[in-house]
Amino acid sequence: MILAILAIAALAVVMGALLGYSALRFRVEGNPIADQVDAILPQTQCAQCGYPGCRPYAEAVVKDDEAINKCVPGGEAVVLALADLLGRDAPSSDGAVEKPKCVAVIDPNECIGCTLCLQSCPVDAIMGAAKQLHGIIASECTGCELCLKPCPVECIHMKPVETTVRTWKWPFPANRPQAPAPSVAA
């Protein structure tokens, strides 16, 4: 019995040492600021910013070579949060009108069930099967419009979301203060 306990203890020590070595040898360095920027982004993976997802856009923003106002689904709230986090000035939105939040709607009389929209939706907000009528899960749709282009019969349309008491948000002031530049200690 003692021999079995010693064998298991020796095996545990060897495996622990192997795991410790592997953790040091194969460590992946990450950027904690990129993690914070990625957490602020809405995670729709819609590619409207020009990047294939939110993480690559967050890394480009942190490298300071990308504008912080390219996230269309995030809107002004994300721009202000990114400006505050990174200590940058928020780009002015003079004359720019923020696009209202929309959801996709499928016309049931025109849908042919081709499944091309299913394949293009990054958040799986479209349900259906081949040669069957498809439907949109409105609570999951981010309004990225990626399903519009592949539809061969153009049966998908964007419908603005009605503002209700639950979805209304207080508008940001037009003359908001700019974020102070971070001070660098010498």
Q: What is the pLDDT of residues 33-76, one digit of tens each?
A: 888 999 999 888 788 888 888 899 999 998 877 888 888 778 78
Asked if 146 and 49 touch (Cβ cutoff 8 Å), the reply is no
Task: Please determine, for residue 156, whether its predicted confidence score (pLDDT) is greater than 90.
Answer: yes
CA distances from 102 to 33, 80, 157 (A): 31, 22, 10
Integer Cα distance of 43 and 124 in angstroms: 13
Tokens representing 98 are 């923020």
Q: pLDDT band for 179, please (50, 70, 90 cuts).
A: low
In this prediction, residue 15 carries a pLDDT of 97
The residues of the chain that CATH labels 1.10.15.40 are: 32-86
176: CB partners within 8 A, 6+ apart: 80, 90
Tokens representing 185 are 């200690």
Q: Does domain 100-161 have CATH number 3.30.950.10?
A: no
112: CB partners within 8 A, 6+ apart: 131, 152, 153, 155
The residues of the chain that CATH labels 3.30.70.20 are: 100-161
89: CB partners within 8 A, 6+ apart: 83, 178, 179
Give the residue among 48, 45, 162, 161 at the shortest CA–CA distance from 102: 161
Domain 32-86 fold: 3-methyladenine DNA Glycosylase II; Chain A, domain 3 (1.10.15)
Integer Cα distance of 62 and 51 in angstroms: 14
DSSP letter (8 states) at residue 113: -
Task: Please determine, for residue 186, whether its predicted confidence score (pLDDT) is greater than 50.
Answer: no
Q: pLDDT band for 177, please (50, 70, 90 cuts).
A: low
In this prediction, residue 180 carries a pLDDT of 55
Integer Cα distance of 52 and 73 in angstroms: 14
Asked if 43 and 33 touch (Cβ cutoff 8 Å), the reply is no
DSSP letter (8 states) at residue 127: E
CA distances from 177 to 81, 126, 169, 170 (A): 13, 41, 19, 17
- Overall average pLDDT of the 145-154 stretch: 90
Integer Cα distance of 69 and 50 in angstroms: 12
